[in-house]
Structure formats: structure tokens, C-alpha cells
């Protein structure tokens, strides 16, 4: 098999069919994901162990491939013909190589993504910490990219992104954007974040806050006059704040509560729901920091934050159930879909 030409054809199919992912595994033809559904490319041959290894060698340098054989896990970027960028992951299963590739589209505006315009206002904050949260594959990176794009198109600022791997590619418009990839441009999130203080940055985007050192440095950056955007794999605003505080030793948690109460801008928690027409639409909640929220964080009463969100619509906050109800009323999602994703289904049913 000519792996270069076959890979070229598969990626063009991915783009043409508006698919998000491509899976290459031994014993099956290539499989793509369209609007959340896996579709087998039955016109393609069943892949062998030689094929998956051949595809991977086509996408990564030999030294990276050799390192993969030893570590058995690999995240890697792949750029196709200078036009399309993919995020790849290679791994072993039953002793055989499998590959997952995700097509990374160009940043889109909030309206096209069905995201609230208030995120644009938050993007123009001069300092503070703003987090986009949710499980994996729920569009967090896409939301962050829209926020970076908003800044880039409207303000002259120095933006540094630290990612593993780089996902969206930005071109300088009004802003200067430096994109640093773990393993290629820097050794770790912690190292890159600490060095960014010496690089005259205004905005820093962390692909993920993975450990205590990174979280601590991000909070410090937000306190010292920088806008920090990042993600966490949490399910709600309250859980996000608890996760950050619980990352620290017990003797430091009171200090962290004080720091967060002063530096947090807000938390945007999102899910992607299947629509009635076969697409995907985000459902979300938005917590914005204010005096009441800051007091709850400082006083370790984070469990009361959900009540603040529910009763602060006039202040720009968005309750998850209320957003689900709007999606149902607008005919975008079914009642069954909304209920299955609600954290409080009985309350949602009362709204409808």
C-alpha cells in the first residue's frame, strides 16, 4: 500500500464528509466519526498490522516512532499539505498499533458555534482566570480557540498558548500569537508557563491544567495582571473550584481560596448534545465571579454556588437546566436528550 497517497485520500474524505475523527485499527477498514456516529468506510480494505505501522511512520519522524515503541503511547500533531491539521494518538491494543486522528478545523466565531456572545466580552478581560470545563470530546478546545480568535481579531496583545499538542493554528491579525507545543517547543506545561512571565505576554492559554505546579502558576499569573484561559475535566462550576482547591495540600487551601476569590473571572461548563437533525449543539452553564461568589469561595461554601447561578440570570450567569430548556423549546434537542444530560432532571421537567 502507498501509505502517503492513501493517507491523503482518507484525510480528504474526512474533510469532504465533515467528519471529526479517523480511526485506523488492525482487522477493520478505516472508520470515521460524523456527528458523533462511527461510520465504516466499507470501500476501503481491512487494515493489517503492517498497514497501521506504515501509516504511523508516514506521519511521525523515525525517532518519534522508536520512542513510541518503547513508551507504547503517543500524542502527535500531523499537518496535511499545509492546509489541514490533525491531532493524533497512537497506542497498542492486543499488541497491535492503533491510531486515532482528529481533524482540527480553523477557529470559528461564537455565533457559528452556538456559543453565547458574553464569551466575547470575557475574552477582552485584562486579567484573571477563566476556565472552560467538561468531559473529553465536548468542545472545550474549540471554545478556547474562539476566545483567542476574538482577541486576535480585535486587540493588540501578546498571546502565548501552551498545548499538548497544538490543536488550532492561529495567524497573527492584530495580536502576536506564539504557540508552544509540549515535547517540541518546551519540556512541560510548568516550564513553559514559568518562562512566559519573561516573555512579555498579556494572555496565556493553557491546553490543560494537569498538575499542582501548573495550577499554582496559572493562579499566580492571573493575580499578577495576565489573562489566563485554560480547561479542566470537570462537570460543573462548583466541581471545578473544588478540584482546584483540593489539588493543594490542606495547609495551603485557605490561601488558595482567597487567591481564587480575587482572581477568578468565571467558569464555563459545556456538553455537546445530539440535535434532532443529526448535528451537535452545546449545552452550557456560566458562572461569573462577583461579590457573592467570592464570599462563598473564601468561606468554603462552594456547594451554594449552584443557587447563585440559578438566581443570577440578570447578571449574565447561565443555569445549565435553563439552557437545556431553551434548547428543547427551540426544537434543537429532544426532551429525552435534555433530561438524560441534566444534573437535576426533576427541576428541568418543571421548567418545561
Listed range (34-38, 160-164, 219-223, 297-301) with the worst mean pLDDT: 34-38
pLDDT at residue 166 tops 90: no
Task: Among 69-78, 149-158, 252-261, name the one with the lowest average pLDDT.
Answer: 69-78
User: What pLDDT score was predicted for residue 84?
Assistant: 87
pLDDT of residue 62: 95
The pLDDT, as a whole number, for residue 164 is: 86
Residue 346 has pLDDT above 80, yes or no: yes
On the question of pLDDT at 105 being above 80, the answer is no
Top CATH class, 3-104: alpha beta
Q: Where are the domains positioned within the chain?
A: 3-104, 111-318
pLDDT at 104: 81
Query: What average pLDDT score do residues 269-294 get?
Result: 96
- Which distant-in-sequence residues (6+ apart) come within 8 Å of 43 by Cβ? 29
Would you state the pLDDT for residue 167?
A: 81
Q: Quote the pLDDT of residue 35.
A: 83
Q: Whole-angstrom Cα distance, residue 243 to residue 248?
A: 9
Query: Rounded to two decimals, what is the model's pTM?
Result: 0.83
Note the helical H segments in 173-331: 189-196, 212-223, 237-246, 253-263, 291-298, 305-310, 320-329
| pLDDT tens string 177-210 | 999 998 889 999 989 999 999 999 999 999 999 8
d(CA 311, CA 262): 22
pLDDT of 191: 92
pLDDT in tens, 87-103: 899 999 999 999 999 98
Per-chain mean pLDDT for the chain:
95
The CATH number fitting domain 111-318, selected from 3.90.550.50, 1.10.10.10, 3.20.20.410, 3.40.50.300: 3.40.50.300
What's the rounded mean pLDDT across residues 328-332? 97
- % of the chain residues with pLDDT over 70: 100
**220-267 tens-digit pLDDT:** 999 999 999 999 999 999 999 999 999 999 999 999 999 999 999 999
Taking phi over 0 as left and psi of -120 to 50 as alpha, with beta for the rest, 264 belongs to: beta
End-to-end Cα separation, the chain, in angstroms: 56
Q: Across residues 315-331, what is the average pLDDT?
A: 97
Amino acid at each position: 500500500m502507498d501509505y502517503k497517497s492513501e493517507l491523503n485520500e482518507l484525510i480528504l474524505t474526512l474533510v469532504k464528509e465533515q467528519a471529526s475523527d479517523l480511526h485506523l485499527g488492525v482487522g477493520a477498514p478505516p472508520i470515521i466519526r460524523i456527528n458523533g456516529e462511527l461510520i465504516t468506510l466499507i470501500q476501503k480494505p481491512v487494515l493489517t498490522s503492517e498497514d497501521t505501522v506504515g501509516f504511523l511512520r508516514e506521519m511521525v519522524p523515525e525517532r518519534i516512532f522508536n520512542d513510541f515503541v518503547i513508551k507504547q503511547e503517543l500524542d502527535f500533531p500531523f499537518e496535511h499539505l499545509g492546509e489541514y491539521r490533525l491531532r493524533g494518538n497512537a497506542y497498542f491494543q492486543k499488541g497491535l498499533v492503533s491510531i486515532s486522528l482528529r481533524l482540527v478545523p480553523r477557529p470559528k466565531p461564537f455565533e457559528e458555534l452556538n456559543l453565547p456572545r458574553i464569551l466575547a466580552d470575557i475574552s477582552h478581560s485584562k486579567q484573571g482566570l477563566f476556565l472552560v470545563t467538561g468531559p473529553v470530546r465536548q468542545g472545550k478546545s474549540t471554545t478556547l480557540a474562539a476566545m483567542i480568535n476574538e482577541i486576535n481579531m480585535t486587540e493588540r496583545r501578546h498571546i502565548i498558548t501552551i498545548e499538548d499538542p497544538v490543536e488550532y493554528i492561529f495567524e497573527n491579525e492584530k495580536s502576536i500569537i506564539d504557540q508552544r507545543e509540549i515535547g517540541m517547543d518546551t519540556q512541560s506545561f510548568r516550564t513553559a508557563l514559568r518562562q512566559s512571565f519573561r516573555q512579555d505576554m498579556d494572555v496565556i492559554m493553557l491546553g490543560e491544567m494537569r498538575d499542582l505546579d501548573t495550577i499554582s502558576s496559572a493562579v499566580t499569573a492571573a493575580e499578577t495582571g495576565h489573562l489566563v484561559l485554560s480547561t479542566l475535566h470537570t462537570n460543573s462550576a462548583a466541581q471545578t473550584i473544588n478540584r482546584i482547591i483540593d489539588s493543594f495540600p490542606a495547609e495551603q487551601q485557605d490561601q488558595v481560596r482567597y487567591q481564587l476569590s480575587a482572581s477568578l473571572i468565571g467558569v464555563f461548563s459545556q456538553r455537546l448534545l445530539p440535535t434532532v437533525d443529526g448535528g451537535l449543539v452545546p449545552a452550557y452553564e456560566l458562572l461569573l465571579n462577583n461579590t457573592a461568589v467570592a464570599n462563598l469561595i473564601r468561606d468554603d461554601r462552594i456547594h451554594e454556588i449552584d443557587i447563585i447561578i440559578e438566581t443570577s440570570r440578570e447578571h449574565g450567569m447561565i443555569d445549565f437546566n435553563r439552557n437545556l430548556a431553551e434548547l428543547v423549546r427551540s426544537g434543537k434537542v429532544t426532551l429525552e436528550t435534555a433530561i438524560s444530560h441534566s444534573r437535576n432532571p426533576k427541576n428541568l421537567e418543571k421548567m418545561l
